[in-house]
A and B are shown apart, each in its own frame.
Chain A
Amino acid sequence: MAVEFSDEAEEEFADLLSRYPNNLAAMLPTLHLAQREFGWVSVEVMDYVAEKLDVHPTRVLQAATFYTMYNKQPIGKCHIQVCTTLTCALMGGYGLIEHLEETLGIKVGETTPDGNFTLSEAECLASCGTAPMFQVTYSDGESEYFENLTEERVDEVVEELNDKLSQLPDPRTMH
């Protein structure tokens, strides 16, 4: 599929540009928008963003590779990011990862073969008072925090996520 913003995305992009004194400054929000539109940030997407912002493609490459929220390869419809820094490490974050590895049948850093789930270890997500926790980022661009987790609660959440899968686009086929 061709890499091109939808009409709504074009509108949002125009609004983004209006917020900054130069195009380069719109880099991070534009990459977020592009990821939401195209599922992940491929070289093709980076080139497109460079064209839109009228900056050299290396500028886009620099930002896309420096910041961890941009996925440089397709990921699952639900990206589960388990915090394991400090308080979450103390309160059971690593246990959640083990449990999710068993439940999903993948290792941390991997995506299920059906493209539904990606499991990652994340650094502190500013949710220490409700540790352990994870964030789920969906392929439609939304995201959600799940906090005060136990293994039982994780099982429930995975069920809820399974129910949601049919409504989510598959990042592998979004461009």
Chain B
Amino acid sequence: MTEEKSDQESKKESEDNAKDSASNAEETATAEKADSDKQESDKQESDKQESGEASAQPTRAKASRTQEKYLSRNFDIPKAYNIDVYEANGGYRALKKAFDMDGETIIEEVKKSNLRGRGGAGFPCGIKWSFLPKESDVPKYLVVNADEGEPGTFKDRYLMELDPHRHLEGCIIAAWALGIRYCYIFVRGELQFAIDRLQNAIDQAYEKGYLGEKIMGRDFDFDVYVHPGAGAYICGEETGLIEGLEGKSGQPRMKPPFPAVVGVFQAPTIVNNVETISAIPFIVEHGGQWFADMGIEKNGGPKLYGLSGPINNPGVYEAPSGITVRELLESDRFGGGMRDGHELKAFIPGGSSCAVVKPEHLDVQLGFEPMQEIGSSLGTGCLTFMDTNTCMVRLTARLAHFYHHESCGQCTPCREGSGWAAKVLDSIEAGRGRMEDLELLLDMCDNIQGNTICALGDSIAIPVRSYIQTFTDEFEQHIKERGCPFPAWSKAEPHSDSDAA
């Protein structure tokens, strides 16, 4: 059971790729020009057979085609997930540099970099790091939030599957800077391939002495473990994740105390997103100011953007912070515009918890503050585009069902409110809605938001309110006409990948 993307394509290209398979940096340039992700998947397919890896290689959407690549620079390099190739391409150089810096200096550089948490909340990474107590009687922990589950979001998977050593290098630097002893990478249980790739990278790093005791001759011990989740969106919330790591239900904790003070196993803990940690080696290598310069005010650095929906080139792309939505959607280097016959109706900037945005805001820069100004959020930076065939009532109902399903159940407003919202939205979609239902829904949103332990409650209220307020006419039309005026959910169309090389 093999490549799911296109076996025919694989066979067709395997000849071309055979000569590429001896990996080296020179060939990267060639790979960039060609349809890199196809090559990548073909190569990994053969690698997998060689190394006897258990899981199948997932299909790649379009890889990044930006000129300046950092986070995604190894995505095109064959076998970059192996330590030899990673090192041959400059890997673990930042770690060596970090060992010549003291922790305080590294934290200062990270502060200067304006690196914001890439998991959606956008908390400044350096500030978070500075909350961790310097002295501790118990070992301190780094917990990587790799529980990527925000609907519309698929960037961290690429980092874990294609460049796992970059991520490990970031973990080791963070641990060195912060005096951390152990790290758990909490990966969604569904992402078997990412788990295998990370484990493979960890095993290699131990062999090379980048992990374990007395790392590179320093008085520094550090162990990393992969911890598989088991199917719970709520474990993407940092304290829910900590509970899951401790073997319990992923029910978020009251804060304070924050994890930096009392985290996993009652010890001081830093919880960071995968992409956040993967960015650390670049900050150490090039400096915090360099990172900050590649962005806009308060939002530094290159970032991975995921583009999905009925567009020409869906996939993961790297671009500086502050790029506009329009450029990502329309440029041939990125999304390549809407597919023929599909007209843009709206987009979500970074996962289903963000407020929906109309096309009139396409020129807004992708940063936390600019997105807040138009009433939405940058979230994870994985954008979902919707066309004019999309029924906003049906989509809102679908999202409400998602949150109802994923609510951990400990707070009444979230547990009950999400279910009520889903029922009311279903009835509107089915033509049984009443005008007063819209007020009722908005009232529910007001009563959920801010009244729960964690942000999942807000994540129900914010989108539901935004769809109703942004597309009020559409909701009213459903109620007045006693039914849905839109076509059924779209059927799957052949993917446009093949003509976009």
- A-side residues, CB < 8 A to B, are 19, 21-22, 24-29, 31-32, 55, 59, 62-63, 66-70, 84-87, 89-96, 123-132, 135, 142-151, 157, 160-161, 164
Instruction: Produce 1/0 per residue, B395-421, CB < 8 A to A.
Output: 100110010011010000000000000
Instruction: Produce 1/0 per residue, B292-306, CB < 8 A to A.
Output: 000000000000001
Q: Would you give the shortest CB distance from B183 to chain A, in whole angstroms?
A: 11
> CB distance A128 to B154 under 8 Å?
yes
Residues of A within 8 A of B228 (CB): 28-29, 32
**Residue B16 at the A interface, CB < 8 A?**
no
Residues of A within 8 A of B398 (CB): 84-86, 89
Q: With A and B bound together, what is the CA distance between A96 and B489 in angstroms?
A: 11
Given known contacts A31-B230, A95-B491, A19 and B225 CB-to-CB distance under 8 angstroms: yes
> CB distance A126 to B188 under 8 Å?
yes
Within 8 A of A (CB), among B47-70: 54-56, 58-62
Q: With A and B bound together, what is the CA distance between A150 and B498 in angstroms?
A: 14
> CB distance B227 to A29 under 8 Å?
yes
Q: B247 touches which one: A63, A123, A151 (CB < 8 A)? A: A63
> CB distance A68 to B309 under 8 Å?
no
- B191 (CB) vs chain A CBs: closest residue: A126
Residues of B within 8 A of A129 (CB): 61-62, 154, 306-308, 314-316
Known A91-B493, A144-B1, A151-B492; 6 more pairs at CB < 8 Å: A24-B246, A28-B244, A68-B230, A124-B152, A127-B157, A131-B308
Q: B58 touches which one: A85, A147, A164 (CB < 8 A)? A: A147
> CB distance B247 to A130 under 8 Å?
no
Q: With A and B bound together, what is the CA distance between A19 and B223 in angstroms?
A: 9
Interface segment, one of B125-133, B382-390, B432-440: B382-390
Interface segment, one of B143-151, B361-369, B446-454: B143-151
Given known contacts A85-B352, A89-B398, A147 and B189 CB-to-CB distance under 8 angstroms: no
Q: A86 touches which one: B55, B232, B352 (CB < 8 A)? A: B352
> CB distance B308 to A87 under 8 Å?
yes
Residues of B within 8 A of A131 (CB): 308, 314
**Residue B273 at the A interface, CB < 8 A?**
no
Give 10 A-B contacts (CB < 8 Å), ordered by A residue: A27-B247, A85-B402, A90-B395, A92-B491, A124-B352, A125-B190, A129-B314, A131-B308, A144-B56, A151-B492
> CB distance B230 to A145 under 8 Å?
no
B interface secondary structure, majority = loop
Given known contacts A123-B405, A128-B314, A129-B314, A32 and B189 CB-to-CB distance under 8 angstroms: yes
> CB distance B352 to A128 under 8 Å?
no
Residues of A within 8 A of B384 (CB): 86-87, 90, 128
**Residue B153 at the A interface, CB < 8 A?**
yes
Q: With A and B bound together, what is the CA distance between A142 and B315 in angstroms?
A: 25
> CB distance B399 to A148 under 8 Å?
no
Q: Of A22, A24, A29, which is in contact with the most chain B CB atoms at under 10 Å from its CB? A: A29
Given known contacts A26-B247, A85-B352, A92-B489, A128 and B153 CB-to-CB distance under 8 angstroms: yes
> CB distance A24 to B247 under 8 Å?
yes
**Residue B291 at the A interface, CB < 8 A?**
no
> CB distance B148 to A145 under 8 Å?
no
Residues of A within 8 A of B489 (CB): 89-90, 92-95
> CB distance B308 to A142 under 8 Å?
no
Residues of A within 8 A of B231 (CB): 67-70
Q: With A and B bound together, what is the CA distance between A86 and B394 in angstroms?
A: 11
> CB distance B248 to A63 under 8 Å?
yes
> CB distance B229 to A28 under 8 Å?
yes
> CB distance A25 to B265 under 8 Å?
yes
9 nearest A-B residue pairs (beta carbon): A129-B61, A92-B492, A27-B247, A67-B230, A68-B231, A128-B308, A69-B231, A147-B59, A86-B151
Q: Would you give the shortest CB distance from B247 to chain A, in whole angstroms?
A: 3
Residues of B within 8 A of A130 (CB): 5, 58-61, 314, 495
Residues of B within 8 A of A157 (CB): 4
**Residue B102 at the A interface, CB < 8 A?**
no
Q: Would you give the shortest CB distance from B182 to chain A, in whole angstroms?
A: 9
Q: Would you give the shortest CB distance from A28 to chain B, in whole angstroms?
A: 5
- A97 (CB) vs chain B CBs: closest residue: B489
Residues of A within 8 A of B153 (CB): 124, 126, 128
Q: With A and B bound together, what is the CA distance between A60 and B189 in angstroms?
A: 17
> CB distance B309 to A145 under 8 Å?
no
**Residue B379 at the A interface, CB < 8 A?**
no
Residues of A within 8 A of B382 (CB): 128
